[in-house]
Amino acid sequence: MHLTALSGGIGGARFLRGLLTHLDDDTRRSGRRHALTTIVNTADDMWMFGLRVCPDLDTVMYTLGGGIDDDRGWGRADESWQAKAELAAYGVEPSWFGLGDRDLATHIVRTQMLGAGYPLSAVTAALADRWRPPYDTEVRLLPMSDDRAETHVVVDDESSPAGRRAVHFQEYWVRMRAAVPAREVVVVGQAEATPAPGVLDAIASADVLLVPPSNPVVSVGTILGVPGVQAAIAGAAAPVVGLSPVIGGRPVRGMADAVLAAVGVDATADAVAAHYGARSAGGLLDGWLVDSSDKSSVDVVEAAGVVCRSVPLLMTDVPAAAAMAAEALDLAREVGR
Ligand code: GDP
Ligand code: CA
């Protein structure tokens, strides 16, 4: 099987690690080999202290490659923060964004290679060469685009003439902790962006398309917003199955409800499914998994034309994420017939 997934950071990475674990079991049982292409959101990317930082790519790369700090969910294991302290001693801003010492090496290599003229997709492949995931399944990481397309969030600001201003997504998420309402989400540069090499092909040639429990707006939404991606999915032969990042009316980790509100979507499993839409009606999904505690959403989702099942969706550990992946592949088989 060739599987293709659209991923953000933590939610996507943890699901994909479960998926690879499940696929290893399958390979051991059946002898079948699989390949996974992950198309990763790059709209969180930013320049920080002169370095190009790609948070979601790095979270997926470190998680699948065994280098992640699992408690924090991002950054390197066994990290130290000497450089951060030194920058603070110089009074350099932004002080709200921490880059760990080990992690810095990744950004330095990336920035050097970008400076030498390599596109982000080539840089990503070079970095990932160090972090080869220890699974039977072959894994490929692709940025959604080699072009710069960055999410900004419009917030109220009484001191500006328009009464509002746009801040980079990282500033909204990390410095402001999404504590003020997001009035609008704008992905600057997206209309001119093109899919990175391999992206459209990975969608067209997939046997299964997966939408992990990533943020529907600022992770999956930004990938879908790259011109050409949505049309490629609409035309793909593979079934599309997604998993809800919302359980019991709340995002499982983090503050996704803030950006869902900005696009007028309730933080419920069925509202997120409706936001993605049924593939049969020009939307994204053939199948959708909601958590066992959201059984009442199943009928609502199915009435909108998406086949829906309720199963445990909490990624408490790798086996739990692997079980979710198994359920997603079962549903893909069912809707793909
Ligand atoms: P980010 O880029 O690091 O924010 O990561 P993603 O966009 O890939 O994923 C963030 C989303 O993952 C959040 O909206 C959470 O609701 C969701 N999430 C995190 N942990 C879990 C979990 O255990 N189960 C489910 N269903 N969703 C989760
Ligand atoms: Ca992210």
Instruction: Note every long-range contact of 319-322, with CB atoms under 8 Å and residues 24 or more positions apart, other chains counting.
Output: 319/18, 319/21, 320/18, 321/14, 321/15, 321/17, 321/18, 321/19, 321/21, 322/18, 322/19, 322/21, 322/22, 322/25
What percent of the chain is predicted at pLDDT more than 70?
Answer: 100
Least confident of 104-108, 173-177, 236-240: 173-177
The pTM of this model reads: 0.97
**pLDDT of residue 176 exceeding 80:** yes
Those residues whose beta carbon sits under 5 angstroms from the ion ligand 2 are: 8-9, 44, 56
Query: Which residues, judged by CB distance below 6 Å to any ligand atom, belong to the binding site of ligand 1?
Result: 7-12, 56, 59, 213-215, 219, 243-245, 247, 251-254, 256, 313-315
User: Does the pLDDT value for residue 177 go beyond 80?
Assistant: yes
Q: 310 with 291: CB under 8 angstroms? A: yes
**Whole-number pLDDT of residue 253:** 81
Q: What domains lie within the chain, and their CATH numbers?
A: 2-146+191-335 (3.40.50.10680)
Please choose from 64, 252, 318 the residue to mutate so as to test ligand 1's pocket, defined by most ligand atoms within 8 A of CB. 252
**Residue 254: per-residue pLDDT:** 80
| Spacing, Cα 265 to ligand 2 middle (Å) | 19
Contact (CB, 8 A) for 262 and 183:
yes
Residue of 68, 241, 253 to mutate, ligand 1, most atoms within 8 A of C-beta: 253
Residue 246: its pLDDT value, please? 97
Q: Which of 44, 169, 214, 218 to mutate to test the pocket of ligand 1 (most atoms within 8 A of CB)?
A: 214
How far is it, in rounded angstroms, from Cα 113 to Cα 117? 7
- Cβ burial of 122 (10 Å; 0-12, 13-18, 19+) is middle
Decide: 30 and 19 in contact? Cβ < 8 Å.
no
Residue 53 clears pLDDT 90, i.e. is over it: yes
Atom of ligand 1 nearest to the CA of 291: 26
Q: pLDDT tens, 116-150?
A: 999 999 999 999 999 999 999 999 999 999 999 99
> Could you tell me where the DSSP H helices lie in the chain?
10-30, 55-65, 82-89, 101-115, 120-128, 169-170, 199-204, 220-224, 229-235, 256-262, 269-276, 296-303, 318-336
